[in-house]
Amino acid sequence: MSDTRLSLDVTLSEDQWDFIRAKANETWKNENSSFDRRRAISEFHGRAVIIKDSTQKVIGEFSSQLKAAEHLGVSRYKVSLYLNSGNLFDSKVGPVILIDKGGLKERSIKIHILDVNRNLLDTCSSIRATANKYDIPAASLSMTYLDKDKLWKGKYYFIKNK
C-alpha cells in the first residue's frame, strides 16, 4: 500500500486487495476505541471522591471522579464542578455533597501584615484581599513587596504565612 502512495507502479490483484482489507479490518476490530482507552485510564487516575448525603453521612468512596459519576448517574464534568463546592446537587441516589478524599486544597496565600517594628498587625486571606484592604496594586504587592523585606509607604511589611 505504501508503494501506491509513493506513485510507484504497483499492480495488485483483487485477491491481494481483499486480503489486505481483511487484515486491516481484523486489526481495527481488535483495537479499543479511543473512548474505551480514555475510560480505562480515567478509572485509575484522578481524584478520589467521597460522596455524602445531605445529613453528612458517607454514602460511598470512589477511586476516581468517573466511578463516582457512574454511581450517581451524572457526568464526570458535573462531579468535577461540584467537587469540594459544599453545594448539594441531585443525583439518582438523592441530594449529595462531593468531597475530595485527599482533602480540601487551600487556594489562596495567607498574608501577614507587619508594622515597621515587625509586629503583626493583621492577616489577610489572599493577595487580592490584602491589596484591597491596604490600597496597593496586587501586582506590586506580589512582585515588589511580598517577602521582599521592603516597606510599603514606610508603614507595612507583607509576609506570606508559611
DSSP 101-113: TT-PPP-S--EEE
Residue in the block written with cell 480514555: 38
CB 156 within 8 A of CB 121: yes
Find all residues with CB under 8 Å of 159, minimum gap 6, and list them. Answer: 111, 112, 114, 146, 147
pTM of the model: 0.40
For the chain, what are the domain ranges?
A: 34-100, 111-160
Per-residue pLDDT tens, the chain, 162 aa: give them: 555 555 555 677 888 888 888 888 887 776 666 666 666 555 555 678 888 888 888 888 888 888 888 899 998 888 888 887 778 888 888 888 888 877 544 555 788 999 999 898 888 888 888 888 889 998 888 888 888 888 888 889 998 876
Please tell me the distance from the alpha carbon of residue 70 to that of residue 31, in angstroms, as a whole number: 24
In sequence order, which residues have a C-beta less than 8 Å from that of residue 68 and are 6 or more positions away? 49, 51, 60, 62, 79, 98
CATH class of 34-100: mainly alpha
